[in-house]
Chains A and B, each alone.
Chain A
């Protein structure tokens, strides 16, 4: 479904990604692991068209997306949930969802506002509150709901478990499981190995802008030296 090859990215003079290669198949949840500054967020932003100096190839369902503007990439069926949440603080919960609304898409589950309020009951209660009045966990739920309003087939989740309470992390894991059940593909970046193991089928480990490991979690657990080398802090 998604095939990234030889992805390079720069910010000014700094070379952040040096030839990242990864794939995500239909219905699969894939984790992108790595330490702070390894290039996880840049990989996700590059796929989404949010990094200007990039080269390589990002193919999605056979279509080259590299160099296309973010709105085209979104319309192709890729949803993006940013790391810093980026809620529209002055808009209400309902208005935030409205910004994300896109027409239904063939081959993708359709998410109505009612359906999302069922999945995220907290948001239903707070639909008239402004984004800035929500707690961190509620904001995280709102970004995911807002992205789902676009009826994506693939969701890019940037560090979903970062900076939220453990009880919300659990809820987050349930949401990702629900997405998988609905047939969505997910690429999530994560530092939390435990959380990633809970929700994903496979993992990539990225370090200094290159993929250093790929495999499933059974394999990763059998080789403790790998996580020692690339994930331990």
Chain B
């Protein structure tokens, strides 16, 4: 009995730090509607800054707690700078575009932390005065855990007072419901947004700082915590602070007991809980359907068929690519295969998001399922490359069929989060299930058939498959099924009012996108000769999102352009020191210069050039 009580206390202590980071995320989303992927980075910065302050000051009780608060304040200022310098410029950009900026910030902050604090893990000091354990029912409980258990509810109470007893808090709650109306009542939203960012970032910083007596400070803290923080926010209901608290306790306590029964479960448990909650309550425990006045609604212009000149340019590009083996070396061919795979992957994600209106934060799930499906077909079933190349996309389709059934029941950010959960569950299973998937060691020796084993032959095979897949997607977009999906994206209510079974069509669209992502994963697996759990990871999903959003979500050429630029830049910068910083900075620069994506930016550039060269030349 006492052992279980101790386990409960550990769970509650974990809940406190999870709550701190999640409630900051929730506040920021509630007010600004920005899904802040860089929130984990703020958490990590809090830990590093607290480490530096506490180890420099002599570590008395005062020094320790001063360090905690100083770290929170410093990270709050970093968040303020992020909002003020970058995100503020993007509020009028299409929804989700700010997401790309936060990805860029994740990369930049990674390398800034690396430059300042180095790559080695840093072991922080124990909290003075709380360094020992007390016995409760005979079990040793760290005093610091007890302190944490107290801090969580204390912060919750503080935020409650702030939100209900101050004018600023009332404005924040009002803006969470209808920020345009708050603006029309004379409130300058910019200040409200800045303040929300400061508060949210400071809470993340405090959460990170409070971790230093418990775990080593490392450069992996940011992405390790972000997925779980999202889960907590979503379970609680986006924008609900009390919900975040309940969800943090639920997840942490469940986890503390579940590991006793099934030690491997901790990787996937939060995501399973989230999936269950979202299926039962599509807006989380305390969330509400977002008001229609949240996002700036700019109707999307209809897609046009490509002009004759555009077709010719595209054909020329494809021909040039196909002719490249004549002149290019092996490295270039390998890079081109990567490019083709990225293009198909991005096109399938764009089909889901841009055409179907279903935002996915976990599209890597189907890419990875395809890659593993193909690899397992070769290794376990003993199929040849041909069979494996069917098995891969089939596996992707099956995965998308299953997850899609759950996902199309939701919309907006909740749908995106459920896809993230799906990807993390698949990743967790792959990572843990040593016997079948090889776990962390992956599956090696997935080579193409002899006839396709030369770089040139495989390049042509990959080109045929990937370009074929992209072509098929374009056909679907311009088919009645594509019209239907776009209609559903623009107005689900109207689509259903005219008698369409939107969910079924979205399910079909989801499955198609998963199939083609699986196909991309298959081509990828054979090009590398091996698969590792990374192909299912958050980073892979994020890469896809960057390609689609950076390329421009409103144009069919967007994802192709985005994938091309992404792969080429990554290939170039990843050889440099601090490449993450450079890459992140490039992403931020593009985001600020072309808030409608590369495709939109190029279009504007073209119009500008036309105007300056004189209207006569144009027409």
A interface residues, Cβ below 8 angstroms from B = 11-13, 48-50, 52, 69-71, 74-75, 80, 82, 86, 88-91, 95-96, 98-102, 146-147, 150
Contact = CB atoms under 8 A, between A and B. Distances in A.
B293 A86 contact: yes
Interface of B: 167, 170-171, 173-174, 177-178, 180-189, 288, 293, 296, 298-301
Contact of A82 (B181, B182, B300): B181
Given A74-B185, A98-B170, 16 more contacts: A11-B299, A49-B184, A69-B188, A71-B183, A74-B184, A86-B293, A88-B173, A90-B288, A91-B173, A91-B174, A99-B170, A99-B174, A99-B182, A100-B185, A101-B167, A146-B185
Nearest to A69: B183
Nearest first, the 5 A-B pairs at minimum CB distance are A74-B186, A12-B299, A70-B183, A70-B184, A88-B174
A23 B314 CA distance: 54
B298 A12 contact: yes
Contact of A90 (B173, B180, B182, B299): B173
Contacts of B180: 50, 70
A89 B178 CA distance: 10
Contacts of B167: 98, 101
A71 B173 contact: no
Contacts of B171: 99
25 contacts: A12-B298, A13-B299, A49-B184, A50-B180, A71-B186, A71-B189, A74-B184, A80-B184, A82-B184, A86-B178, A86-B181, A88-B174, A88-B178, A88-B181, A89-B177, A90-B173, A90-B177, A91-B173, A91-B174, A99-B174, A99-B185, A99-B187, A101-B167, A146-B185, A147-B185
Contacts of B288: 90
Contacts of B189: 69, 71
B183 A91 contact: no
B301 A71 contact: no
Contacts of A48: 184
Contacts of B177: 88-91
Nearest to B169: A95
Main secondary structure of the interface of B (DSSP, over half): helix
Contacts of B184: 48-50, 70-71, 74, 80, 82
B162 to A, nearest CB: 14
B170 A91 contact: yes
B186 A75 contact: yes
Nearest to B173: A91
A99 B177 CA distance: 12
Contacts of B185: 71, 74, 80, 99-100, 146-147, 150
Contacts of A90: 173, 177, 288
A148 B197 CA distance: 30
Contacts of B183: 69-71, 74
For B174, B288, B296, B301, the residue with the greatest tally of chain A CB atoms inside 10 Å of its CB is B174
A13 B171 CA distance: 34
A157 to B, nearest CB: 13
A50 B171 CA distance: 19
Contacts of A91: 170, 173-174, 177
A82 B170 CA distance: 20
For B187, B288, B296, B300, the residue with the greatest tally of chain A CB atoms inside 10 Å of its CB is B187
A91 B288 CA distance: 14
For A70, A89, A98, the residue with the greatest tally of chain B CB atoms inside 10 Å of its CB is A70
Contact of B188 (A12, A71, A80, A100): A71
A47 to B, nearest CB: 11
Nearest to B292: A84
Nearest to A152: B186
A70 B293 CA distance: 14
For A13, A89, A90, A99, the residue with the greatest tally of chain B CB atoms inside 10 Å of its CB is A99
B206 to A, nearest CB: 26
A99 B301 CA distance: 36
Nearest to B178: A86
Nearest to A94: B170
A53 to B, nearest CB: 9
Contacts of A70: 180, 183-184
Contacts of A49: 184
Contacts of A82: 181, 184
Contacts of B293: 86
Nearest to A151: B186
A99 B167 CA distance: 8
B188 to A, nearest CB: 5
Given A82-B181, A90-B173, A91-B174, A52 B187 contact: no
Contacts of A86: 178, 181, 293
Contacts of B182: 99
B372 to A, nearest CB: 43
A163 B171 CA distance: 28
Nearest to B164: A95
Given A52-B296, A88-B173, A99-B174, A13 B186 contact: no
A35 to B, nearest CB: 21
Contacts of A11: 299
A81 to B, nearest CB: 10
Contacts of A99: 170-171, 174, 182, 185, 187
A154 B189 CA distance: 22
A102 B186 contact: yes
B224 to A, nearest CB: 34
Given A90-B177, A91-B170, A52 B186 contact: no
A96 B177 CA distance: 12
Contact of B298 (A52, A69, A95, A98): A52
A102 B167 CA distance: 12
B496 to A, nearest CB: 21
